[in-house]
Chains A and B, each alone.
Chain A
C-alpha cells in the first residue's frame, strides 16, 4: 500500500489553501484528491464577482479567484488527481478512492478534509405537495446555467434567501427568466445585505419574509406554488395563501457540511453539522483535519482560504510532530451565539488564533463579550449583527495567555 504524508480530500478553495500552506511549511509528499474533472470546487460555477476582497484586495469572479490558487498548486508541483472520488476513510487514515480505470487504497499520515457542503433538498425540508419536475436547488440551477448553458425555468419562484438563491435570482433574471419573487420563511434574510441590494432591489424582485411554500402543484412539470405566511412556530397561517403560476421553484434553504466520509471514523460533530475541531483545525480523530464549508458554511470564500491555511499549518505541525495535543480550553457559544469554531483551543499553541462565530438573530448595538470563566478577556462593540455575516475574533498570543478557563462568547445589549 502506497503511503502519502498528507492527503487533501477536495480540491476547492479550502483544500488548495491547505495543501499550499503545508507545502510552504516543508511538507513535500502531498496528494490532492478532487472528485470533479478540474480543481476549483464550487467556485468554478460562481461566475459572479465579489470574491477576493480580503485575500487580494480586489474584486474577482469565482473562476478568477480559484485560478490564482490552481496556478500556485501547479507552480509548486503539488500532485493532484481529478475525477477521483474518495470512497472510504478509516480511523487510521487508510483511504480508498476510485477514478476512471483506477481503484486505489493508500495510507495517509495526515488527512485534510475539504469536501465542501451540500444543499438542503426539497425532500429534506419536506415541501408539501407534488414532487414534479421543476423543483431544483439553487446550486444545481447555477451549474446548469453557468457551466452547462441551460435554463432550468422561465417563470421562477425562489424559496429561501440564502446567498446562492439571491445570486440565482439575478442570474436567471439576466438570462431572460421572469423571477417572480423570493420567499423566506424567517422574518429576516439569510443572505448578505449586499446581495439583497445587488440581486433583488436593483432588479425590483420582491422579497417576502415570514412566508414559505405551503404547496407545490404540478403533474409532470411544476405549474404553480402556494405561498403562505407562517407564524412564530413556522406553521402556515390559513387564509394567507398566495397562488403563483410558475414553472420552476428554486430552493436556497440551507447549506450543510458534506462529511459522510467521516461516518466510518466516529468523528464527533458540532451544531454546525461539521466536525468538532481545535485551533489547528484537527478533528477529534488523530491526524484528520477539517476546513472550509465541510467544517462550517462560510459566507465569504476569503475566510475559507484562511481556514484552509490553518488546517494546512496544523497538518504540517502534526507531520513534523510539533503539534500540541492538549485541547485544554473549550469554547462555549453563550447568549445569542449559535456556534463558535474551533470548539477547542490549545493554550500552548503560541500563535494568534481566530475564532469564528455566528449570532442567532439580527440585533443592534451589541457587545460581544469574551470571557474566560468569569474574567472578561475582551469586549467588542458591534452596531449591528446578523446571522448571515460570520464574526471573526482574533485572539492574540497575549490574550491567549490570560485564558485559564473555558472561553465563553456571548452578546450583551449595549
Chain B
C-alpha cells in the first residue's frame, strides 16, 4: 500500500513520550500530522521502561537544556495529569548521603538546585528517619525535593497519544522508518510497509534518533544506549517508602533508586550499562545482583522476596551528553529531538511546546485548531466510588463487575473501555500497559488466556493471531488436533 497521494504537513517519528507530546502540541493547529512508530504499540521503548518519576530538576548541571526544560516542565504536570486523566502524585524525593564524605556533595547539590531554581531542603538524619522509617540507620543527611512526583508512564504516553488522535493526529503503527529522502520541497519517508510524503519531519526516535537523523545528512553525534535494569515489587505495604529515594548522583546518572509507584508497587533500579545493541532490553543476573546490593545499602529491610518482575530499558544517551533539540544542519524542515535521556520524561511537554512554538512555527504557518479539546474521556475508577454508587454503576454496566485480572482487580468493563478509545491496544501487552491486567502477583498466569479471548473476540480474529507484543510474538502456535 502506497500513501504517496496524501501528504502530511508534519510526520513525527517515534511514539514515545516525546513523539506523544509533540504530536499533541501539533494537534492544537490545523495541520495534517502523522505519528509513525516502528512497534505495534505506543510507548514501547524507553518511555515504558524507566523509573516512572517526574523529576524535580535540581540535579542537571545548570545551564544545560536538561536543567532548563526540567524546571519549565515539572510544574506543567498537574494540569496535564488532570486533562489527560493520568495517575500522578507529588511524593517528593530524597537524595540520601549514607557516608560522611558525601555530606559536602549534598551541599553542592543544594547550590545546584538554587541555580536551577528548584526548591530543596537539607534534612538532618532524624528528619530523614521520620519521613522514611525504613531508611538505613547510617543515613547522614538528605536533600529533600518536594516537587518530585511519581507517574504512571504507560498511561501517560497512551493518554497523550489518545488525545492527539482525538484531535486529528494519525497514528501509524508497525512502520519502521528505513529511509528519508528529500524530493522537491518535501520528504519521502520510507518504512517497511509504506512511503509517506511530508513537509516536515520531527525525529523523536529515542535510542534510534541518530539513525533517523543520519538518513538526511552526516551527523557529529551518536546514540550510546545505556541500559537500566529494574525490579518490580508486588503491593505489600503502603508507605514502606514514602518518597523516591536516590543515592548520591555520579557521572553515570542519578543512581539506583527505590520508589513507590502510582500502582502501589515499588520499583528498584536502574543499573547503568553502556550496550551496543539499541534494542537489547534483556536482564542479567550480575547486574541485578548489583542493583540489589545498592538498594540494600540504602534500605536494608527491602523485601526482595516480593519481586514479581524484572525489566530493562535503554536510555537514549548521546555523545553530546545533553538534549539535542534543533534543526538538522542542512534542512530546517527536519527537526531532531534526540538524546532525551533522564530527565526526559518530565521534560517532554515543555520540549514539545518549544519544538512547535519556536522551531516548527518558523518554517510553517500555525493556524489554531478550533476543535482542539485538551481532555480525554475520563476513565471509570470504581475504587474512587462510594458503595452505593458502585452498586448502581455495576448494575447498569455489568462488565465492570466481571473481574478478569484477579491480582490487580481489572474488570472486563475497563478492558472494553480501553479497546473503545483512540490509540487502542491490540495486544496482550497493550492491555497490560493500559489496564494492568497481568501486571500483578501471578504475572498473567491466571488472566492471560481470558485477555487473549477478549482480544480475539473484539478484533474478530483467531486466538492464534493474538499477539503478546510486536508482530511475531504470537502466544499460541496451533490448535490441538489440527495436525502439523
Contacts and interface: CB of A to CB of B under 8 A. Distances in A.
Interface in A81-107: 83, 85, 87, 98-105
Given A100-B402, A123-B443, A219-B472, A140 B449 contact: yes
Nearest to A129: B282
B105 interface: no
Contacts of A260: 235, 407, 441
B480 A126 contact: no
B134 interface: no
A219 B471 CA distance: 10
Given A101-B395, A148-B463, A236-B285, A221 B445 contact: no
A402 B395 CA distance: 58
Interface string A117-135: 0110111101011111110
B469 A118 contact: no
B477 interface: yes
B478 A137 contact: no
Interface residues on A, range: 35 or more
B398 interface: yes
A175 B484 CA distance: 11
Interface stretch (A149-157, A186-194, A313-321): A149-157
Interface of A: 35, 83, 85, 87, 98-105, 118-119, 121-124, 126, 128-134, 136-137, 139-140, 143-145, 147-154, 175-176, 214-216, 219-221, 236, 247-248, 258, 260, 263
A299 to B, nearest CB: 20
A87 to B, nearest CB: 6
Interface in B450-484: 453, 463-464, 467-481, 484
Nearest to A104: B391
Given A101-B398, A102-B401, A128-B282, A144 B443 contact: no
Contacts of B231: 126
Given A85-B403, A133-B473, A140-B444, A105 B479 contact: no
Nearest to B391: A103
27 contacts: A35-B403, A83-B402, A87-B403, A87-B409, A101-B398, A101-B401, A103-B395, A118-B442, A123-B232, A124-B308, A124-B443, A126-B283, A128-B288, A130-B282, A131-B311, A134-B475, A136-B475, A148-B463, A149-B481, A150-B476, A151-B478, A215-B284, A216-B282, A220-B468, A220-B471, A221-B473, A260-B441
A119 B406 CA distance: 14
A176 B469 CA distance: 26
A200 to B, nearest CB: 21
Q: Which label, helix, strand, loop or mixed, suits the secondary structure of the A interface?
A: mixed
Contacts of A104: 391
Nearest to B304: A126
A152 B468 CA distance: 12
A131 B283 CA distance: 9
B448 interface: yes
Given A130-B282, A143-B449, A99 B309 contact: no
A131 B479 contact: no
A150 B478 contact: yes
A124 B401 contact: no
B473 A132 contact: yes
A153 B411 CA distance: 29
A192 B20 CA distance: 53
B307 interface: yes
B378 interface: no
B227 to A, nearest CB: 13
B310 A123 contact: yes
B252 interface: no
Interface string B366-402: 0000000000000000000001001100110011111
Contacts of B472: 219-221
B479 A149 contact: yes
B215 interface: no
Most buried by A among B394, B453, B481: B394
Nearest to B231: A126
A121 B474 contact: no
Given A123-B308, A175-B480, A221-B474, 7 more contacts: A85-B409, A102-B401, A119-B442, A128-B285, A133-B473, A143-B449, A258-B441
B477 A153 contact: yes
Contacts of A150: 463-464, 476-480
A276 B253 CA distance: 45
A133 B469 contact: yes
B463 A103 contact: no
Nearest to B280: A130
Given A35-B403, A129-B282, A152 B394 contact: no
Interface of B: 231-232, 235-236, 279, 281-285, 288, 307-311, 387, 390-391, 394-395, 398-403, 406-407, 409, 411, 441-446, 448-449, 453, 463-464, 467-481, 484
B477 A122 contact: no
Contacts of A258: 441-442
A133 B480 contact: no
B480 A118 contact: no
B478 A154 contact: yes
A126 B310 CA distance: 6
A97 to B, nearest CB: 9
Contacts of A144: 449, 476
A103 B469 contact: no
Nearest to A155: B477
Nearest to B471: A220
A249 to B, nearest CB: 13
Most buried by A among B471, B476, B479: B476
A220 B474 CA distance: 8
Contacts of B395: 101-103
Given A143-B449, A221-B472, A121 B442 contact: yes
A147 B450 CA distance: 12
Nearest 3 A-B pairs (CB), nearest first? A101-B398, A123-B309, A220-B472
Contacts of A131: 281-283, 311
B480 A145 contact: yes
Contacts of B473: 132-133, 220-221
Contacts of B476: 144, 150-152
Contact of B475 (A126, A133, A147): A133
Given A35-B403, A103-B401, A123 B307 contact: yes
Nearest to B428: A133
Most buried by A among B232, B282, B445: B445
Contacts of A247: 477
B477 A100 contact: no
Most buried by B among A85, A126, A136, A216: A126
A154 B480 CA distance: 11
Contacts of A248: 477
Contacts of A149: 479-481
